[in-house]
Amino acid sequence: MKHDKKQHQIKKKIWKMPFLVDELFKDEDWRKFDGMAMEEPVPTETMKTLIQTAIQNQEKAQDRKELRRYRLVKLLRYSAAAAILLFFSFHFVTWWTKDSVVQPNVLRSAAKSVVEHKDTVWTSIENKNPRSIILDLPDGSHVRLFAQSHIRYVKNFVDNARDIELTGKAYFDVASDPKRPFSVLASGTKTTALGTSFTINTKLKHKAVTVALHTGKVLVSSLKNRFKQVFLADPGQKLTVDARGATKIDVVNKEKTLSMPGLSAPALLKLKNTPMPAVLQALEAAFKKQIHLGDKGIAAIHYTGEIDVHHDSLKDILTTICLINELRFVANADGSYTLYKQENTITEHLNN
In sign, the C-alpha dihedral spanning 150, 154, 155, 161 is negative
Q: Where are the domains of the chain?
A: 2-84, 108-251, 268-351
Name the CATH topology of 268-351: Phage tail protein beta-alpha-beta fold (3.55.50)
Coil, helix or strand at residue 138: coil
CATH no. for 108-251: 2.60.120.1440
Print pLDDT tens along the chain (352 aa): 545 555 556 555 554 454 444 445 444 444 444 444 444 444 455 555 655 665 566 666 666 666 666 565 555 565 655 655 555 554 444 443 333 333 333 333 333 333 344 456 788 999 988 888 888 888 888 888 988 999 998 877 766 678 999 999 999 988 888 788 899 999 999 999 867 888 899 988 778 899 988 888 899 999 888 888 999 888 888 999 998 888 899 886 544 433 333 333 345 677 778 889 988 988 888 888 999 999 989 999 988 877 877 777 888 889 888 888 889 999 999 999 999 987 644 444 444 4
DSSP string, 256-324: --S-BTTBPSS-EEEEEEEEHHHHHHHHHHHHT--EEESSGGGGG-EEEEEEETTTS-HHHHHHHHHHH
CA dihedral of 171, 298, 269, 263, whole degrees rounded to 10: 130
Q: Which amino acid is at 73?
A: V
pTM of the model as a whole? 0.45
Residue 200: closest CA among 224, 160, 227, 173: 173
| H/E run at residue 72 | helix 45-102
Residue 199: closest CA among 319, 338, 303: 319
